[in-house]
Amino acid sequence: MGEFVKLEISDGIGTIRLDRPPMNPLNTQVQEELREAANSAAGSDVVKAIVVYGGEKVFAAGADITEFTTQTYQDMTVRAGALSGAFDAVARIPKPVVAAITGYALGGGCELALACDWRVVADDAKLGQPEIRLGLIPGAGGTQRLARLVGPAKAKDLIFSGRMVDAEEALRIGLADRVVPAGEVYQAAIELVKPFVKGPSLALRAAKQAIDAGLNMDLASGLALESQLFASLFATDDRVEGTSAFVAKRKPTFTGR
């Protein structure tokens, strides 16, 4: 486990916990520990679903700006790919992933939330991409994932202005999936992914791959990928169990094989 990012596992759910008080700034060390935790969660047979959580007070308030004051163009041409890759490691976890957002999810914090499949947001939380106010743009997926999630016009509104949105607006535009009282965020995130712990892991993996990869393809290519993944599941024990259980009118017991 890293110094600031830990993977905690309980009842088949892995929690990727950010713990760099007071605001969980995402410096280079945090980024690399996040990549390591994401890869560990992805490769673990025990972990069936993941919650990304910053704690009761804040999700993550963005990059560690003190690092930016000394970095040059030459420095960032080397680092930018690794920065984006750390968040991409979360996006590529082939399991259901939910962000549990309290306090602030700004800049890199918002980009980390965007790398998850869903976002459970505290009713007093604030989200946004304020990089423009530093003379920058989002550099860890914000311009791409936000536009795909809420549409290009709304993404331009948020990114061009750098303004924060509250939970109500986030829910209205599709940036949040559920809004709950602040004290209930983590448990609500757990409840969202708990049904997948005993689900057909290989089918869930295939569904996520088909949706995420298909968004970057034309329709014909996406349909071809879907067909390939659909057919591949006929080689799994879970497909045999699921179809047999349906015919026998009983509840299936999936093994992830």
Helix, strand, coil proportions of the chain in percent (round to 5)? 55, 15, 30
Residue 91's nearest CA partner among 149, 38, 144, 40 is 38
Residue 159's nearest CA partner among 170, 171, 148, 146 is 146
Q: At 2, which amino acid appears?
A: G
Residue 128's nearest CA partner among 35, 53, 28, 60 is 60
Question: Would you say 93 and 115 are in contact if contact means Cβ atoms under 8 Å apart?
Answer: no
Helix (H, G, I), strand (E, B) or coil at 17: strand
Residues 6+ apart with CB under 8 A from 69: none
Half-sphere exposure of 109 (CA within 13 A, CB side): 31
For residues 184, 187, 191, 197, the Cα torsion angle rounded to the nearest 10 degrees is: 170
Q: Which residues are catalytic?
A: 63, 108, 111, 131
- Give the integer Cα–Cα distance in Å for 78 and 58: 29
Q: What is the CA radius of gyration of the chain?
A: 19
Half-sphere exposure of 212 (CA within 13 A, CB side): 21
